[in-house]
């Protein structure tokens, strides 16, 4: 082991970063989003289960918004609300073949969280107003809006479903990139809550 690598190792510590509720939220949201998307695209004509999973997504998002203000340090939005300069600086250095050992979400990851939450909220919320005019799969709030608004909601719901798919694919690709290129496992910390970080991070 070289002197610099020994120094780097000495400057690291493994600490609890992700709290239990945040981890449960993460995996529950993963299950509900995948199930809702799959049922919406390939499910039965009567999409009762699709609606139920959509309601679950909305409930989980409501929790995440609340937890973003009152949860532990690394769950709070202010801990990963970075400005454009910080995000660009991180992007320009992210292709170095070494772990970043970042505490919590790095600037790019934090930005991604905000985008993903916003798209999921828009996609799930529009589902409340959809009316495909089949008299079956009608959103619970469709009766409170005009038919034009309900059709617009349906169009946005379908469009945002593909945006969600793209973001999920990007998320999985990023996990693979960090694991293979940077030697940084992002999955295990979201299971155990513990992450290796810099002591001065």
Question: How many Å apart are CA 47 and CA 67, to the nearest integer?
Answer: 30
- Residues near 36 by Cβ (< 8 Å), separated by ≥ 6? 50, 53, 54, 56, 57, 124
Helix (H) or strand (E) holding 195: strand 194-198
pTM of the model: 0.91
DSSP 185: -
- Asked if the model's pLDDT at residue 65 lies above 90, the reply is yes
- Asked if the model's pLDDT at residue 3 lies above 50, the reply is no
CA angle 56, 57, 61 (to 5 degrees): 115
136-193 tens-digit pLDDT: 899 999 999 999 999 999 999 999 999 999 999 999 999 999 999 999 999 999 999 9
Q: Which of 111, 110, 125, 129 is nearest to 160 (CA)?
A: 125
* Domains and their CATH numbers in the chain: 20-187 (1.20.950.20)
Phi first, then psi: what are they for 137, rounded to 5°?
-90, 60
Question: How many Å apart are CA 147 and CA 25, to the nearest integer?
Answer: 35
- Structural contact between residues 77 and 162, judged by C-beta atoms closer than 8 angstroms: no
Question: How many Å apart are CA 76 and CA 86, to the nearest integer?
Answer: 18
Rg (CA), the chain: 20
Predicted pLDDT at 51: 96
Tokens encoding 96 = 């170095």
Using 50, 70 and 90 to split pLDDT, how confident is the model at 199?
Answer: confident
CA angle 147, 150, 154 (to 5 degrees): 140
84-126 tens-digit pLDDT: 999 999 999 999 999 989 999 999 999 999 999 999 999 999 9
Predicted pLDDT at 198: 87
Predicted pLDDT at 8: 63
- Asked if the model's pLDDT at residue 2 lies above 50, the reply is no
- Structural contact between residues 19 and 193, judged by C-beta atoms closer than 8 angstroms: yes
- Asked if the model's pLDDT at residue 1 lies above 60, the reply is no
- Structural contact between residues 128 and 50, judged by C-beta atoms closer than 8 angstroms: no
């Amino acid at each position: 082991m070289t002197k610099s690598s020994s120094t780097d190792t000495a400057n690291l510590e493994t600490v609890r970063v992700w709290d239990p509720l945040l981890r449960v939220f993460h995996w529950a949201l993963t299950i509900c989003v995948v199930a809702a998307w799959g049922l919406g695209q390939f499910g039965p004509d009567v999409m009762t289960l699709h609606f139920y999973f959509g309601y679950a997504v909305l409930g989980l998002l409501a929790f995440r918004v609340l937890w973003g203000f009152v949860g532990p340090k690394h769950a709070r939005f202010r801990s990963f609300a970075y400005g454009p300069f910080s995000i660009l600086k991180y992007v320009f250095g992210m292709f170095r073949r070494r772990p970043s050992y970042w505490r919590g979400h790095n600037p790019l990851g934090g930005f991604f969280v905000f985008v993903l939450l916003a798209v999921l909220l828009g996609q799930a919320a529009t589902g409340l107003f959809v009316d495909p005019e089949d008299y079956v799969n009608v959103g619970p709030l469709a009766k409170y809006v005009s038919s034009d608004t309900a059709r617009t909601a349906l169009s946005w719901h379908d469009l945002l479903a593909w945006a969600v798919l793209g973001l999920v694919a990007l998320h999985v690709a990023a996990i693979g990139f960090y694991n293979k290129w940077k030697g940084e496992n992002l999955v295990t910390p979201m299971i155990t809550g513990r992450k290796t970080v810099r002591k001065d991070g």
